[in-house]
Amino acid sequence: MKKQIIVGCLLAMSLMACYKLHFEGNTFQTVKGTITDTLNKPISNLTLNMVTTLTNSRSGPVIVSTTSTKSDGSFQFTFPRSNGYLYVELPETYAVADSVGKIPDLHREIYIDTAKFQNFLYNTQTVKVVEP
Amino acid sequence: MRKYFIVLYLLLSLSQLKAQDTTAFGDKTFSIGTNEGLKSFTGNNFISKTYKASASTTIDIRFRIYGNWGIGGGGEWSSPSLKSLQYVGNSTSATMTNWFGYLFYNVYLGKKWMFVPKIGTGSYRLTNTLEANDYYKTYTYSTHGYSYFAAPEINFFLTKHISANAVVQYTYINLRSMNANESVIGTNYHKTNQFLGSIGVRFWL
């Protein structure tokens, strides 16, 4: 019985270790885009976090990179590739406006489709945000 | 307690060697040395733009195998602080390790001076640490590559068994299998120049 418990614990620990965020030191991804308000006015000096996390895991969320928008609202992150899913996190006072003049679901995350990186680059294009 | 006896034994052994020794300064087959120095990086590359100049520790052993020619090997360690998070994400600390081997030639300059040019190659590893507020707290990721270096060294013999030395080392670091969109990021992720100046002590046995 004692042996079975030990084997069980070892298996659980192995599974936990497998289901953990892993970062690659030889692959760096870049995400860029522009932040504007719903009237297309660029928002500058907005602090943005690039976050990676795993669902149903104790691993994450981890802030892998931080940047600020420039005067034209543009931003760019570079960070090591991971096995988690990615999103850009807005400051607490902002939320993504899914379409002009319409705010169906306030959320602070700009989701990144990891399958759509091209040459390790993903462009979110222009993201409109509002102050909720 | 045991380690004090080992140190005492080594000191006594060295003093015995000195008493019996009739060889000239630097005319030994084996030596071991340690150096402390300062290193910095140059060029348009992510290492140069990300890491500050830092202290460096080197330990190496050396065998003279044919005439004044010989081979050596050892390790070099440093933990540079970060000056920018733009190229590697939010890393909080980094360690650099270089395991190397080299070829050298002893040039005797008078009775107590010796010049030792060295060329070598090594296995380079850069490890960054990310911190998180989750269960695991920290995550690390490593970048690997090869180093190629030239390092002129000058020794001054304090005794027949101990020399003080100064080294200036240029290292070219070539990282392998790097993937990044260099044109968008505006920096190189493959090649780095490193300069290291150090002083140290070497024991000749």
DSSP string, A29-52: EEEEEEEE-TTS-B--S-EEEEEE
pLDDT > 90? residue B1: no
For the stretch A18-44, pLDDT in tens is 689 999 999 999 999 999 998 999 999
For the stretch B54-80, pLDDT in tens is 999 999 999 999 999 999 999 999 999
Long-range contacts of B45-48 (CB under 8 A, 24+ apart): B45/B187, B45/B188, B45/B189, B45/B190, B45/B191, B45/B192, B45/B193, B46/A28, B46/B87, B46/B88, B46/B180, B46/B185, B46/B187, B46/B188, B46/B189, B47/B126, B47/B173, B47/B192, B48/B192, B48/B193
Instruction: Over range B170-197, report the average pLDDT.
Output: 95
Instruction: Over range B11-22, report the average pLDDT.
Output: 50
Count other Cβ atoms within 10 Å, centred on residue B173: 24
Strand pairing of A23-36 and A121-130? Answer: parallel
Tell me how far apart the alpha carbons of residues B2 and B204 are, in angstroms, rounded to a whole number.
25
How far from B52 is each of B83, B97, B128, B193, CA to CA, in Å? 6, 16, 14, 13
Q: Which residues of A touch B85 (CB under 8 A)?
A: 65-66
pLDDT > 50? residue B175: yes
How far from B162 is each of B6, B10, B15, B157, B159, CA to CA, in Å? 19, 14, 12, 6, 5
CA dihedral B48, B51, B56, B59 (to 10 degrees): -70
Asked if B143's CB is within 8 angstroms of A21's CB, the reply is no
Q: Which residues of B touch A119 (CB under 8 A)?
A: 181
> Which residue of A lies nearest to B180 if distances are taken between CA atoms?
A28
For B79-136, list the strands marked E by DSSP. 91-105, 107-109, 113-116, 118-131
| Mean pLDDT, chain B, integer | 90
Q: Which residues of B touch A76 (CB under 8 A)?
A: 184
